[in-house]
Homo-oligomer: A and B are copies of this chain.
């Protein structure tokens, strides 16, 4: 196996140096083709996602310029395609709606402020090396959230596809109800153009995945609108798109807005990073170059800071565009630099071409892009393997859909952690006996033929012990002793106890003391080193400590005077390490 050399110190700060220094002429062709391909995809998507976020289309183009350049210079992924993405656009819409009305000038300014906050949060988290926090977002939660968000996004496009007004954009049930009552107001031109666009996009994706079908749809829809004068039939069009480069603008820093935008900023910082890092990681693994979560956070943070300063809105690495970039042959960040350059040229010279572009075509692009995000395989898979993980996905999905987009992911995280804590409170615990044919100890319920030792009950505990599962263990001991009124000794196999907390340790000592009073000795065998260190510090009475020092069940039983004769034909060494159930 060969990984590339580890980066130098300078290259860690400015990863672009790593690929610039080693740039090979053979990389150039792939970078050029990929840069062009992504630009052709990004220009319509950028405008469409900006509309989804409640912003003028040009903001989506701004977000497709400088942030890409910053990421290409500072990011450690060489194929990640940064820019506006669907879910972050939706989160921007719901977040900024808390402080301004969509479509107003204030909304645009606060969207830029939101990007600044996202950037600051990501940069700070990266500098503090806090990237591990994203480990607490279970894939089940991300999957449920993404599917629900895709549904919300698709529904939010109904207004442009049907050419009707919809006020309730935040509550799915209300939105559906409103759409149903206003179905009669549907604009035929919008519906036709939207439906044709969706059909073309789906056909293109199916039969010509390498062609720039979205651009084709944009061109055709614009020409049709212009030629047939569809504007006069009530079709909403993009209208004037200001030309020129994005300008440096400081967003308004007002305290109340900062507080109200904070939940959205943190959600976007996390969710955006998760989406981006997942796709960057899978490509880095294939291409065998290292990817550091904290470096990625810092690079995305800088990209978002620049987005905020230059009149754009939050960005992140997108799933589908990154895949296209990689498949089109991108070798280095040069591809993204080229993409940004092409968008800048578009902003300078081609914006008048978008005047007759109908919103319905952009809505069609959004709908087709997000339909693929609804993942039905994952819940089926999770329910089959471990139903509780499927429920985590479903709870997140339902909460995101019915309660809200930001609350949904929080509820999902809380639920997934509670599931873990809950399960840990009911650990697998078994009474075991000696399986003489194999020379190992096994669960008496699964292996009724095991040898038992008169007066001694052996209990195997398969869990880290902590305050929440000691009640379970005590109840298990209580029940077991009731079933074996002749027991004189309780022998615990601690080889599966990976950790113990101080409270559990005290409970254990109390258990030893209480049972001693009624004539039962408790012994502990096979304790791991770190656990033994804790017992030493807990200052147990000398006799308890001696009873906890058995190296293994075999050692303990020999000390009790039992003889263990392993089967003569079992292979030495391998025998006793047979897996335990």
Contacts and interface: CB of A to CB of B under 8 A. Distances in A.
Interface in A286-343: 286, 288, 290, 293
B578 A552 contact: yes
Interface string A446-462: 10000000000000001
A437 interface: no
A94 B261 CA distance: 34
A42 interface: no
A416 B467 contact: yes
Interface in A457-495: 462-464, 466-472, 478, 481-482, 485-488, 495
Nearest to A281: B474
A499 interface: yes
B537 A135 contact: no
A174 interface: no
Given A136-B425, A421-B421, A529 B575 contact: no
Given A467-B139, A574-B554, A537 B1 contact: no
B286 A514 contact: yes
Given A139-B503, A428-B499, A574-B576, 14 more contacts: A132-B472, A135-B425, A138-B468, A140-B503, A288-B518, A290-B482, A381-B502, A385-B505, A385-B538, A386-B501, A428-B498, A462-B499, A495-B577, A564-B573
Given A136-B425, A498-B428, A498-B496, A576 B573 contact: yes
Contacts of A348: none
A555 interface: yes
Contacts of A578: 551-552
A537 to B, nearest CB: 5
Given A528-B581, A573-B566, A503 B472 contact: no
Contacts of A137: 467
Interface of A: 1-3, 6, 132, 134-140, 282, 285-286, 288, 290, 293, 381-382, 384-386, 388-390, 416-417, 420-421, 423-425, 427-428, 439, 446, 462-464, 466-472, 478, 481-482, 485-488, 495-496, 498-499, 501-503, 505-507, 514, 517-520, 525-530, 532, 534, 537-539, 551-555, 558, 564, 566, 572-581
A580 B528 contact: yes
Nearest to A520: B1
Of A525, A553, A573, which is in contact with the most chain B CB atoms at under 10 Å from its CB? A573
Contacts of A552: 574, 577-579
Nearest to A470: B135
Closest 9 A-B residue pairs measured CB to CB?
Answer: A529-B581, A138-B467, A552-B577, A576-B576, A135-B471, A389-B502, A554-B574, A462-B498, A386-B502
30 contacts: A1-B487, A1-B520, A3-B485, A135-B468, A135-B469, A136-B467, A136-B468, A138-B468, A139-B467, A285-B514, A290-B478, A381-B506, A382-B502, A384-B539, A385-B538, A386-B501, A386-B534, A389-B502, A416-B467, A420-B468, A446-B529, A495-B577, A529-B581, A530-B581, A552-B574, A555-B574, A566-B572, A573-B576, A574-B576, A577-B577
